[in-house]
Amino acid sequence: MKYLKFNKKGNLQDILFVSIIMVFFILCLVPTMMLVQKIVSVSQTDTALTTQDKTDITNMGTKFYSSLDMGFLVMLIVGFFAILISAYLIDISPIFAIVGFLFSILILVGCVTLFSVVQKIMSNSATSGVFINFPIISFVTGHLFLIIVCFLVILFIVMYGKYRG
């Protein structure tokens, strides 16, 4: 992959590449979840399937939902540690801490907007049944502001500790 360059300076192409991949993943996630839910619900009313087949399809849907839910948690944790390690390893001037603080305020404001959008999607009658199967995603979206504040506090502690030591 020529887009991912490993150097100590930030690269806008890397950030855009990863951001586009994440947005594409999220945009594909909701229709996929709705499709799996539709397959499971249609299979339960199909008379050509045996009871064992219906049970297997329901179990497949449950495993699919739990795998996506745990995948979301793993992506969240890995992203958290990647940013902490990056904050510690990148050599920058301490003046950028002020810029980082200002960006943190923008992130928190954006978090409120994002939370509003996610709540609208989760409360929509067409998609509300899908999110019942995702307890981790529901918890994270319910506590998104607090999670981001805790993350930013830890990030600032890492950045401050690097320059103090």
Model confidence over 64-113: pLDDT tens digits? Answer: 888 888 888 888 888 788 777 777 776 666 666 666 677 777 777 777 77
Q: What torsion, rounded to 10 degrees, do the Cα atoms 143, 87, 99, 76 define? A: -20
Number of continuous H segments (helices) and E segments (strands) in the chain: 5, 0
Q: Identify the residue with better confidence: 34 or 4.
A: 34
Q: Can you give the pLDDT at residue 5?
A: 52
When mean pLDDT is compared over 19-33, 49-63, 106-120, the highest value belongs to 49-63
Q: Can you give the pLDDT at residue 64?
A: 83
Q: Identify the residue with better confidence: 52 or 120.
A: 52
